C-alpha cells in the first residue's frame, strides 16, 4: 500500500478495514491525565491465543485490516515481537507506545519495519527525568536508524502550556523530526477539557500539529450525530477478548473476531451520539468528512471585509 504521508491519517482513510485494538491493560507508566484506569496486574485473557491463531482469525474474515494497536503498553504484551512479525506480512500495523519498556530495543532489532505504517511514540514529559528523556530520544533514534516511520506525540495537559513550545524545540534540536500535540481530554482543576482551552492554547496546538484533523478534538467539534459513518461496517474497536464493537463510542457488539462470530454491518450507519470519543478515528470513518476546523476560521474574511468597508468610507 502506497501511503502519501505516514504521519497523517491518510492510511486510515485509504484502508477499507480498520481495527482499533486495545491489546492489553498493563502499563509501566501512571500518567495523571490518562483516560484509562491504571492496572497493577495484566488481564488474564492477554496472550491466551497464539500469534498464529490471531492471524488466522483476521485472515478468515477475507479482508485486509489496518490494525492500530494500543493498550496499556503494547510492548508489555507477551510475545509481542512474535505477534507483530506474524501479523504484519498480511495486515499493515500502527503501534501506540511510550517507547520506554524493557522490550523496546529488542523490538527495534528483531522487527523489520516493512508494513508497519508508523510507530506512535507517546512522550509523557511529566514522567521523565533529564536522564530518562535522553533515553527516550535514544530509543527514537534507534527506530529511525532501523527504518521505522516514527512520530512523537505530546499530550497538551494544561500545566504544560508554559513550556510546550520550548519542549518541542528541544526535541527537534535533538533530532526528533516529527512531534505532534495530542489534545488532553479530561478534567483539570475542576475544568473540563478540551472545551476549557483558551484561544492562545488552541493556537499553539494548531501551530504545532502535524495532523490538522487534531483540531476537531481540540476545538471540541466532534458532534457527528446523524452523519453517515463507516463504524460497524469497516471500522471497529476490538477489546482484549476479541469482541468487535462498532466503535469506541457506540459499544454495540458485532460479534467476536477470535471465536468466529464477527459479522460486520452491510451499510454505513448514522451516528447515534452527540460526541464521538474515537477522536481522529471517528473523523476518518465519516462518509463525508467535514472541513477541518480552524481556531480563527473567519480571520481572513474579517480582514478583507474591513478593508472593503474602509475603502468605501475613504471614497465617500
Q: Cβ distance 121 to 151 under 8 Å? A: yes
Cβ-Cβ contacts under 8 Å for 22 (sequence gap 6 or more): 70, 71, 72, 237, 238, 239, 240
pLDDT at residue 316, rounded to an integer? 40
Q: Cβ distance 98 to 17 under 8 Å? A: no
Q: Cβ distance 210 to 154 under 8 Å? A: no
Q: 115-135 pLDDT, tens per residue?
A: 999 999 999 998 899 999 999
pLDDT at residue 35, rounded to an integer? 80
**47 has pLDDT over 90:** yes
Distance CA 304, CA 289 (A): 28
Q: Cβ distance 252 to 221 under 8 Å? A: no
Q: 164-214 pLDDT, tens per residue?
A: 999 999 999 999 999 999 999 999 999 999 999 999 999 999 999 999 999
Q: What global pTM score does this model have?
A: 0.90
CA 211-215-220 angle, to 5 degrees, is 150
The H-or-E segment that residue 188 falls in is strand 186-188
150: nearest Cα among 125, 182, 117: 117
Alpha helices in 163-243 (DSSP H): 164-173, 199-208, 214-218
Cβ-Cβ contacts under 8 Å for 97 (sequence gap 6 or more): 73, 74, 75, 104, 119, 120, 121, 122
**62 has pLDDT over 80:** yes
The H-or-E segment that residue 236 falls in is strand 235-238
pLDDT at residue 6, rounded to an integer? 77
Task: Locate 247 and state its grid cell.
Answer: 466503535
Which of the pair, 313 or 175, is modelled with greater confidence?
Answer: 175
Provide the residue count of the chain.
316
**293 has pLDDT over 50:** yes
pLDDT at residue 310, rounded to an integer? 46
Q: Cβ distance 159 to 187 under 8 Å? A: no
Distance CA 308, CA 302 (A): 10
For the chain, list the domains and their CATH numbers: 10-315 (3.20.20)
Cβ neighbours around 270 below 10 Å, total: 11
* SS3 at position 156: coil
Lowest mean pLDDT among 2-6, 141-145, 253-257, 284-288: 2-6
Q: 223-259 pLDDT, tens per residue?
A: 999 999 999 999 999 999 999 999 999 999 999 999 9
**87 has pLDDT over 50:** yes
In the chain, % of residues over pLDDT 70: 91
**1 has pLDDT over 60:** no
Distance CA 294, CA 296 (A): 5
Q: 10-20 pLDDT, tens per residue?
A: 766 777 799 99
Q: Are strands 243-245 and 235-238 parallel, antiparallel or unpaired?
A: antiparallel
Q: Cβ distance 210 to 8 under 8 Å? A: yes
Amino acid at each position: 500500500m502506497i501511503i502519501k504521508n505516514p504521519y497523517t491519517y491518510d492510511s486510515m482513510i485509504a484502508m477499507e478495514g480498520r481495527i482499533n485494538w486495545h491489546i492489553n491493560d498493563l502499563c509501566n507508566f501512571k500518567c495523571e491525565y490518562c483516560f484509562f484506569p491504571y492496572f497493577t496486574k495484566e488481564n488474564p485473557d492477554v496472550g491466551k491465543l497464539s500469534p498464529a491463531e490471531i492471524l488466522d482469525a483476521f485472515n478468515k474474515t477475507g479482508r485486509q485490516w489496518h490494525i492500530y494497536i494500543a493498550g496499556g503498553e503494547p510492548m508489555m504484551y507477551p510475545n509481542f515481537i512474535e505477534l507483530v512479525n506474524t501479523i504484519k506480512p498480511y495486515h499493515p500495523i500502527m503501534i501506540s507506545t511510550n517507547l520506554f519498556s524493557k522490550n523496546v530495543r529488542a523490538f527495534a532489532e528483531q522487527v523489520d519495519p516493512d508494513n508497519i505504517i508508523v510507530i506512535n511514540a507517546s512522550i509523557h514529559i511529566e514522567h521523565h527525568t533529564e536522564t530518562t528523556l535522553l533515553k527516550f530520544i535514544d530509543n527514537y533514534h534507534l527506530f529511525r536508524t532501523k527504518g521505522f516511520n516514527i512520530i512523537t506525540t505530546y499530550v497538551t495537559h494544561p500545566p504544560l502550556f508554559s513550556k510546550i513550545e520550548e519542549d518541542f524545540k528541544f526535541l527537534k534540536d535533538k533530532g526528533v523530526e516529527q512531534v505532534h500535540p495530542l489534545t488532553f481530554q479530561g478534567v483539570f482543576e475542576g475544568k473540563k477539557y478540551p472545551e476549557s482551552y483558551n484561544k492562545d492554547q488552541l493556537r499553539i496546538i494548531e501551530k504545532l500539529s502535524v495532523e490538522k484533523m487534531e483540531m476537531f478534538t481540540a476545538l471540541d467539534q466532534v458532534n457527528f450525530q446523524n452523519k453517515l459513518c463507516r463504524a460497524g461496517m469497516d471500522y471497529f474497536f476490538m477489546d482484549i477478548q476479541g469482541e468487535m464493537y462498532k466503535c469506541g463510542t457506540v459499544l454495540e457488539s458485532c460479534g467476536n473476531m477470535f471465536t468466529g462470530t464477527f459479522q460486520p454491518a452491510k451499510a454505513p450507519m448514522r451516528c447515534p451520539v452527540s460526541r464521538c470519543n474515537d477522536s481522529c478515528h471517528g473523523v476518518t470513518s465519516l462518509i463525508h468528512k467535514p472541513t477541518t476546523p480552524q481556531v480563527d476560521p473567519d480571520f481572513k474574511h474579517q480582514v478583507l471585509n474591513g478593508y472593503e468597508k474602509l475603502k468605501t468610507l475613504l471614497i465617500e
